[in-house]
Amino acid sequence: MRVTTWSLEQTSPDGLPAVPAPSEHVTVVRAETPSPEFSRFLYTAVGGDILWTDRLALTYAQWQETLGRPGTETWVAYEKGTPAGYVELQAQPEGVVEIAYFGLIPAFRGRRIGGHLLSYGTARAWDLADRWPGLPPTERVWLHTCSKDGEHAMDNYLRRGFTLFDTKVEEEPDAVTPGPWAGAHD
């Protein structure tokens, strides 16, 4: 399968529009205690139907190590108490923050939650150093998306003030993902 990957960035928070929650029933909360079980649930629930596979083989210890790194945060959108999606931030050297993962569980897509969550998560990337003493202030936020992601992904990133800085096209083997459980997307 041919996959196009686009890398996008923001070099200032000035272009980031605030997007209000689509209803009073949508909240975004930081998962302050790193939990491999919860993070793996979010990863498979969000990425199962769009072929996220890079973390499926990680061991419990590898999940713990990844989530426990200074400057790594998981922000979860909830609708009426039910997880709807998440954004995972990862601090990198020299004031760079990567939005490593972002997405919504399929049942919550198309309900205007994604724009709100992306704006909220990006704002948290810009103020990450405020919560992590010793990290330098954020000077750049970046992410990547690809042709396997949802049809509205690129538009959402562009509307939040991200700009394209790199494009790659590669062949990838076809992959099957179990979603949150085997047969979830059959």
* Residue 120 CA: distances (Å) to CA of 58, 113, 153, 154: 28, 11, 16, 17
Please report the domains of the chain, with CATH numbers, ordered by start residue.
Answer: 2-171 (3.40.630.30)
Which residue shows structure tokens 């969000």? 46
Question: Is the Cα torsion angle 54, 56, 57, 58 positive or negative in sign?
Answer: positive
Q: Quick check: 35 and 67 in contact, CB under 8 A?
A: yes
Residue 11 pLDDT > 80: yes
Strand partners, 91: 97
Which amino acid is present at 5? T
With a CB cutoff of 8 Å and minimum separation 6, the contacts of 116 are 19, 20, 21, 22, 26, 28, 77
When pLDDT is averaged across residues 167-180 and rounded to a whole number, the result is: 74
The pLDDT score that the predictor gives to residue 182 is 54
Instruction: Kindly report the pTM of this predicted structure.
Output: 0.91
Strand partners, 79: 26, 82
Task: State the average pLDDT for the chain.
Answer: 91
